[in-house]
């Protein structure tokens, strides 16, 4: 008998639950077609629950989540809650506690999707960013001196461990090999200024690449120049590997060149543990409850989730459905799609 997949669902804040509902609609259709079973459990980690109860994600919640095969997340961020609380208490808490050390963000322009980059199309915009997801500036090392005084000092330290850098690089090399496109991995950093952290990254990159991945071409690009190349020559990239902060920044630009936040998906991956998949665009509170938000990013996250739990064929079919929906939609932007949120979900599910 086929195994029953156990998936944890966190709708989250704002439009998160709406886009997740469309993803689950697609999951239902794809499971039927590919003959697998699944069970879902929903977790209410929202800003509204926090306001009522003061609860975020507890260690006990984390232990429970560890018993699932994967997590499907909508969005975090509630304008009623002070910025940073939900982000730290839910999203970053889960990434760190579940040691999801990779943030995988494909930047793929699908046919019929508008890009602000002139003269570039699906052939030119097709790469993947591997963002380190548990270190760097995100560890929260630092502090104040003389806070509130004119002599105040604030430090925020980027932590890069050999182990953390190495496991991220190895994942990126393996991914480049498996992707089997141009077999090119670009390290994106800032070796000319941040000479400690990026020296470690650069040494590890070449050591590991030379020894264990000789067929993968190694390239390097400064992060600022990378932003320029994303716009000028995105076709230069195959797979990119970078640290947490740079990865955060360049993948927002990446999302824009692939058609916007409505289509950009990502995975927080622990290759040995439980991974979590999400649309990268956030909770878009002003569109909540209007049935106008684009669910394709969430459906793309579902596609990545299916790949992660070993349902590759189902994942490939979901991608076909997304590609089809793109040909039927007027725009990827909320309210301008020429369809409602639920109609986009129906279009993908119906194509399956
Ligand atoms: C992202 C988001 C998060 C990040 C925020 C919400 C903490 O911007 O997933 O890219 O900075 O990683
Ligand atoms: Mn971000």
Give dist(CA 65, CA 68) in Å, integer: 6
CA atoms within 13 A on the CB side of 176: 28
Mean pLDDT calculated for residue range 45-70: 98
How high is the mean pLDDT of the chain?
A: 97
Give 142-191 pLDDT, tens digit per residue. 999 999 999 999 999 999 999 999 999 999 999 999 999 999 999 999 99
**Same-domain status, 140 and 65:** no
**Same-domain status, 166 and 195:** yes
- Any domain includes 23: yes
Residue to probe by mutation, ligand 1, list 14, 71, 92, most atoms within 8 Å of CB: 92
Helix, strand, coil percent values for the chain (each to nearest 5): 45, 20, 35
Last residue of a domain, one of 237, 254, 271: 254
- Any domain includes 160: yes
| Domain span including residue 170 | 115-254
- Any domain includes 110: no
Per-residue pLDDT, 289: 96
Per-residue pLDDT, 12: 98
**Same-domain status, 213 and 83:** no
Give 199-224 pLDDT, tens digit per residue. 999 999 999 999 999 999 999 999 99
- Any domain includes 11: yes
- Any domain includes 200: yes
Nearest CA to ligand 1 atom 10: 248
For residues 268 and 133, the answer to whether their CB atoms sit within 8 Å is: yes
Output the pTM of the full model: 0.97
Give dist(CA 5, CA 227) in Å, integer: 39
**Same-domain status, 156 and 208:** yes
Mean pLDDT calculated for residue range 131-141: 98
Q: How many CB atoms lie within 10 A of CB 328?
A: 15
**Same-domain status, 94 and 150:** no
Residue 291 confidence (pLDDT) above 80:
yes
Per-residue DSSP letters for 223-279?
HHHHHHHHHH-GGG-SEEEE-HHHHHHHHHHHHHHTT-TTT-EEEEE-TTS-EEEEE
**Same-domain status, 265 and 246:** no
**Same-domain status, 268 and 343:** yes
Nearest CA to ligand 1 atom 6: 87
**Same-domain status, 193 and 215:** yes
Give dist(CA 185, CA 204) in Å, integer: 13
DSSP 286: G
Last residue of a domain, one of 233, 254, 275: 254
Q: Which residues line ligand 1 (CB under 6 A)?
A: 87, 91-92, 248, 280
Give dist(CA 145, CA 140) in Å, integer: 16
Last residue of a domain, one of 230, 254, 278: 254
Q: Considering its fold, how many domains does the chain have in total?
A: 2
DSSP 161: -
For residues 114 and 259, the answer to whether their CB atoms sit within 8 Å is: yes
Per-residue pLDDT, 3: 77
CATH number at residue 147: 3.40.718.10
- Any domain includes 301: yes
Mean pLDDT calculated for residue range 7-22: 98
Nearest CA to ligand 1 atom 5: 87
Cα-to-centroid distance, 283 and ligand 2 (Å): 12
Give 89-115 pLDDT, tens digit per residue. 999 999 999 999 999 999 999 999 999
CA atoms within 13 A on the CB side of 325: 32
Mean pLDDT calculated for residue range 335-344: 98
CA distances from 214 to 131, 168, 185, 197, 208 (A): 22, 17, 11, 24, 9
Per-residue pLDDT, 2: 65
Cα-to-centroid distance, 313 and ligand 2 (Å): 29
**Same-domain status, 180 and 123:** yes
- Any domain includes 109: no
Mean pLDDT calculated for residue range 253-266: 98
**Same-domain status, 186 and 70:** no
Cα-to-centroid distance, 248 and ligand 1 (Å): 7
**Same-domain status, 52 and 170:** no
- Any domain includes 272: yes
Per-residue pLDDT, 1: 52
Beta bridge partners of 7: 40, 70
Give 314-326 pLDDT, tens digit per residue. 999 999 999 999 9
**Same-domain status, 3 and 93:** yes
Q: What is the 3-state secondary structure (H, E, C) of 50-104?
A: HHHHCCCCCHHHHHHHCCCCEEEEEECCCCCCCCCHHHHHHHHHHHHHCCCCEEE
């Amino acid at each position: 008998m086929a195994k029953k997949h156990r998936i944890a669902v966190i709708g989250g804040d704002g439009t998160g639950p709406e886009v997740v509902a469309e993803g689950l609609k697609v999951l239902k259709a794809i499971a039927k077609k590919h003959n697998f079973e699944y069970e879902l459990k929903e977790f209410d980690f929202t800003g509204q629950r926090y306001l009522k109860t003061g609860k975020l994600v507890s260690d006990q919640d984390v232990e429970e989540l560890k018993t699932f095969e994967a997590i499907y997340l909508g969005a975090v961020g509630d304008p009623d809650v002070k910025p940073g609380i939900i982000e730290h208490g839910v999203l970053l808490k889960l990434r760190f506690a579940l040691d999801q050390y990779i943030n995988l963000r494909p930047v793929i322009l699908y046919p019929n999707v508008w890009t602000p980059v002139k003269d570039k199309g699906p052939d030119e915009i097709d790469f993947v960013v591997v963002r380190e997801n548990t270190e760097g500036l995100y560890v929260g090392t630092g502090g104040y001196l003389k806070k509130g005084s004119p002599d105040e000092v604030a430090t925020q330290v980027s932590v890069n461990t050999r182990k953390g850098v190495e496991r991220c690089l190895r994942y990126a090399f393996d991914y480049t090999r498996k992707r089997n496109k141009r077999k090119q991995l670009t390290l994106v950093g800032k070796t000319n200024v941040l000479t400690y952290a990026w020296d470690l990254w650069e040494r590890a990159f070449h050591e590991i690449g030379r020894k264990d991945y000789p067929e993968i071409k190694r390239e390097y690009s400064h992060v600022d120049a990378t932003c320029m190349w994303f716009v000028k020559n995105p076709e230069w990239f195959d797979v990119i590997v970078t640290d947490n902060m740079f990865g955060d920044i360049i993948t927002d630009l990446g999302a824009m060149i692939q058609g916007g936040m409505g289509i950009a998906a990502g995975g927080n991956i622990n290759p040995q543990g439980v991974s979590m998949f999400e649309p990268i665009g956030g909770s878009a509170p002003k569109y909540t409850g209007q049935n106008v938000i684009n669910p394709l990013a969430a459906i793309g996250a579902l596609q990545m989730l299916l790949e992660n739990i070993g349902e590759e064929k189902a994942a490939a079919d979901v991608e076909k459905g997304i590609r089809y929906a793109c040909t039927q939609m007027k725009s990827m932007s909320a309210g301008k799609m020429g369809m409602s949120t639920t109609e986009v979900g129906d279009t993908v599910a119906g194509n399956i």
